[in-house]
Amino acid sequence: MLVLVAPGQGAQTPGFLTPWLELPGAADRVAAWSEAIGLDLAHYGTKADADEIRDTAVAQPLLVAAGLLSAAALGEVAPGAVAGHSVGEITAAAFAGVLDDTAALRLVRTRGLAMAEAAAVTETGMSALLGGDPEVTVPHLEKLGLTPANVNGAGQIVAAGTLEQLAALEADKPEGVRRVVPLKVAGAFHTHHMAPAVAKLEAAAKELTVADPTVSYVSNKDGRTVATGSEVVSRLVGQVANPVRWDLCMETFEALGATALIEVCPGGTLTGLAKRALPGVRTVALKTPDDLDAARTLIADVSAAR
């Protein structure tokens, strides 16, 4: 079974959209999305520097657009399950047919603006902890006032909180943690700091036309599959202020019988986690269009094995 996944914020790098816009029809599609949401996605994906695309209001729509564009470039894909990490859940909702592409971009534009506004209230951020035992790490984070905002599995937890709290973590790492790596994000996402964004997303969600998922949609909230479009959207709204449980998502992939996983552009993070947590599952990360042939071969192999 094939799982199609979409990365979250922090995966973006300057110019990463450039080669994708050279594909037939891609520039026109991105131009239409840009007009729909009032943001020049082509500019930010090709010419903007790292600080500009670190802006939450820019990064989130850019990541969803890149995910949708790269998935479309694959051609016919019939995954058995889809999932996204954090903002990638909106990309996954489009993969599952819950939202159309334009609706997904409009929702993520609202999400990005609302979360950027919430993040501006207090100086906050996120750092990845590499290594360590969750049973030791989580209590240590809580002692410092930090939230384990992403429990990613494969020995990785992301802490979120104020910059002061993150500095204290750098000076006082939990036992067994090898490194603390600051992430390219502009706020403490998936914590109580994002609570003001929830109400704005709730209002935006009421305007959406949704459909039930056409494939298994695996939720960040608890790793469970979600059967209705209304529940998917409800979870998308609440998830901005609650931890991401990617470890549980990967457990569900395994339980569903996943044999292959493709991560859409800008791929790399989630395939890296899968290689450590899901041995035996073949992976392809879409970083540039050069990766499309390997992904198509993997899709064909999965289809032939059915």
Q: Which residues are catalytic?
A: 86, 190
Backbone angles phi, psi at 218, to 5 degrees: -100, 125
Cis check: omega of the bond before 266, within 30 degrees of 0: yes
Rounded-to-integer distance, Cα 302 and Cα 298, Å: 6
Tokens at residue 141, please? 């984070």
